[in-house]
Amino acid sequence: MARLFYHRPQFAILDECTSAVSVDVEGAMYKICREMGITLFTVSHRKSLWVHHEYFLHMDGRGSYEFEKIDDNTAMFGS
């Protein structure tokens, strides 16, 4: 994440980058990215990250996928 803050890219793909931090630290990191205008694509099993995103892409591993806007009616999956 330090490199992300330093380089300030337009977008970043984050693969389980917050798995070793608390939800509070995770929230702070995503807030900073949002303030910096960095578009994030996140690979994660954490439900707590959904609040930081507008859409989700779920791939089932058998060739099917779902791409939907996250709203109050979106069923969550993962841990």
CATH of the domain at 12: 3.40.50.300
**pLDDT value for 75:** 67
Q: What is the DSSP string of 3-23?
A: HHHHH--SEEEEESTTTTS-H
Per-residue CA distances from 42 to 37, 38 (Å): 15, 12
pTM strictly above 0.95: no
**pLDDT value for 77:** 56
Helix (H, G, I), strand (E, B), or coil: what is residue 65?
Answer: strand
Q: Is residue 76 part of a domain?
A: no
According to DSSP, the β-strands at 39-43 and 55-59 are unpaired
pLDDT digits (tens, 9 = 90+) for 35-54: 999 999 999 888 888 888 89
For the chain, the domain total comes to 1
Per-residue confidence of the chain (79 residues) as pLDDT tens digits?
889 999 999 999 999 988 888 989 999 999 999 999 999 999 988 888 888 889 988 889 999 999 989 887 776 655 4
Q: Is residue 12 part of a domain?
A: yes
Structural domain boundaries enclosing 21: 2-69
Q: What is the DSSP string of 20-63?
A: TS-HHHHHHHHHHHHHTT-EEEEE---GGGGGG-SEEEEE-SSS
